[in-house]
A and B are shown apart, each in its own frame.
Chain A
């Protein structure tokens, strides 16, 4: 039991908080700016979007990977914030955004802070690149010796085992990439917006089989932030508050010595989504059938298939058929990643995945708006551990 039943069924403190605003910088291949400048701009934008001023903020929360960003205190200083009640710099990487939003909401729900900005900033294309940054330690040295040096290769070993155990095919990976590109064409922020057909998908070169370039995220420079505040205060803000209805994090036994260490994980065909599905839906009091829009962490297309099965949107072995049915495309019954996902909008490390769910629930997603979106599920992470949220329009 990862989460006690008593905690699960009770009214969680995070239910008393809501996401009130989002902010972005421009996304580019070369920002020509410091990570601090990007972080400050995105946070300033999110705070203004929530109808607040930096002096209203008393908490700053962020995450980074191998030192590729700036600490929370730097943003607090750069924005001239006053006394802070809470800061957190997390070393969790793509597993962090949902986790940190739930954390910020809990800090607010328990009265420790009032208004918290959560951000991710990186020069992820022109500077230190997450996917191929050199890690150290016993596990890393072992895989480097074999030539496994980057995340696309690691994820490929998961994808291969998933295909062996579930019968998924490269056509299923293609369907994910094609559906999300169709969404991306409606999102002016997305870096990849040219049409992707089955032919052009299969012309895309292999990076690490079974993954092709079209299955891989678009690395970018940029930043994204959200503001979390008390639900009653957010109700007076400029946009409909987005409530945190449920939240979960899971790290299974044998999760590896680092994120890319697959050697003690028993089953490479299942990731953390299989572990956190029960606690997530129980915490929310909702079910997969209640979801109007899904924002699923997608550093690689295969990760979407894992999440669809892990969270219960499809039976084991059924994710590919679900995506090929068109359900996740515009107009489908389960819209997935209407911003085009990390595959197309860009790799803001899943912070933008949260932001997309927020603007969808607030009804301000423009050409990609999912009609009557009231309930969203969001995931953060691809491998042994990760987090998820169920968000609702209040």
Chain B
């Protein structure tokens, strides 16, 4: 624990859980984790485990790695995805050709193999075969 407001989020990823903070007043979730609700300003919230479903809202195909850490991965797709719980998330989108990306493409979270990067969220098409 680092005492940061997002500890619960990273702790969840280590357990293959996508955790979001839902506002106790308006019932909407928000990411990134923050000490209040950006929708209504209420302070109190409850941490819940999200379903892992999502819908593609926007995306970019990254052809250049501005951070050398990602140089071996280009081109890769970063998506802005909507969770049914009401939060948006930034995540990798895999298992789909860039020219098949479209608005509202149904997605589901795909957890990495043991030992892999536990901080990267990956979504794949909801109707796709397991990779």
A-to-B contact residues, CB < 8 Å: 131-132, 134, 138-139, 141-150, 152-153, 156-158, 160-161, 164, 205-211, 253-254, 257, 261-264, 268
- The majority secondary structure among interface residues of chain B is loop
How far is A262 from B33 in the complex, measured between Cα atoms in Å? 13
How far is A58 from B120 in the complex, measured between Cα atoms in Å? 51
* Known contacts A160-B58, A164-B58, A208-B64, A148 near B30 by CB under 8 Å: no
When distances are taken between beta carbons in the complex, the residues of chain B under 8 Å from A134 are: 67
How far is A8 from B113 in the complex, measured between Cα atoms in Å? 58
How far is A352 from B87 in the complex, measured between Cα atoms in Å? 38
A153/B78 in contact, CB under 8 A? yes
How far is A153 from B120 in the complex, measured between Cα atoms in Å? 17
B30/A208 in contact, CB under 8 A? no
A164/B103 in contact, CB under 8 A? yes
* Known contacts A131-B66, A146-B78, A161 near B61 by CB under 8 Å: no
B120 is contacted by which of A145, A205, A211, A261 (Cβ under 8 Å)?
Answer: A145
A138 is contacted by which of B5, B38, B58, B73 (Cβ under 8 Å)?
Answer: B5
A268/B78 in contact, CB under 8 A? no
Q: How many B residues touch A, CB cutoff 8 Å?
A: 40
B34 is contacted by which of A138, A148, A253, A268 (Cβ under 8 Å)?
Answer: A138
Query: Which among A132, A150, A264 has the greatest number of chain B C-beta atoms within 10 A?
Result: A264
Query: Which among A144, A160, A164 has the greatest number of chain B C-beta atoms within 10 A?
Result: A160
B58/A157 in contact, CB under 8 A? yes
A257 is contacted by which of B32, B60, B78, B90 (Cβ under 8 Å)?
Answer: B32
CB proximity to A under 8 Å, residues B39-58: 39, 57-58
A278 to chain B, nearest CB (A): 23
A262/B78 in contact, CB under 8 A? no
How far is A261 from B38 in the complex, measured between Cα atoms in Å? 13
Against A, the Cβ 8 Å flags (1 = close, 0 = not) of B58-80 are 11111111110010010110101
B61/A206 in contact, CB under 8 A? yes
How far is A328 from B61 in the complex, measured between Cα atoms in Å? 29
How far is A158 from B33 in the complex, measured between Cα atoms in Å? 22
A147/B4 in contact, CB under 8 A? no
When distances are taken between beta carbons in the complex, the residues of chain B under 8 Å from A211 are: 60
When distances are taken between beta carbons in the complex, the residues of chain B under 8 Å from A141 are: 6, 32
B87/A263 in contact, CB under 8 A? yes
B66 to chain A, nearest CB (A): 4
B63/A206 in contact, CB under 8 A? yes
B125 to chain A, nearest CB (A): 17
CB proximity to A under 8 Å, residues B58-110: 58-67, 70, 73, 75-76, 78, 80, 87-92, 98, 103
A256 to chain B, nearest CB (A): 9
When distances are taken between beta carbons in the complex, the residues of chain A under 8 Å from B75 are: 206
Query: Which among B30, B39, B57, B63 has the greatest number of chain A C-beta atoms within 10 A?
Result: B63
B59 is contacted by which of A138, A160, A206 (Cβ under 8 Å)?
Answer: A160
Query: B121 an interface residue at 8 Å Cβ cutoff?
Result: yes
A161/B30 in contact, CB under 8 A? no
How far is A262 from B78 in the complex, measured between Cα atoms in Å? 13
B4 to chain A, nearest CB (A): 7
* Known contacts A257-B32, A264-B30, A209 near B60 by CB under 8 Å: yes
B80/A262 in contact, CB under 8 A? yes
A71 to chain B, nearest CB (A): 28
B106 to chain A, nearest CB (A): 16
How far is A143 from B32 in the complex, measured between Cα atoms in Å? 9
Query: B31 an interface residue at 8 Å Cβ cutoff?
Result: yes
A147/B70 in contact, CB under 8 A? yes
When distances are taken between beta carbons in the complex, the residues of chain A under 8 Å from B65 are: 147
B92 is contacted by which of A132, A147, A158, A264 (Cβ under 8 Å)?
Answer: A147
B32/A209 in contact, CB under 8 A? no
How far is A190 from B99 in the complex, measured between Cα atoms in Å? 35
Q: Residue of A at shortest CB range from B39?
A: A254
B78/A157 in contact, CB under 8 A? yes
Query: B119 an interface residue at 8 Å Cβ cutoff?
Result: yes
B32/A261 in contact, CB under 8 A? yes
Query: Which among B60, B67, B120 has the greatest number of chain A C-beta atoms within 10 A?
Result: B60
B63 is contacted by which of A148, A208, A257 (Cβ under 8 Å)?
Answer: A208
When distances are taken between beta carbons in the complex, the residues of chain A under 8 Å from B90 are: 142-143, 146, 148, 262-263
B61 is contacted by which of A144, A149, A150, A209 (Cβ under 8 Å)?
Answer: A209
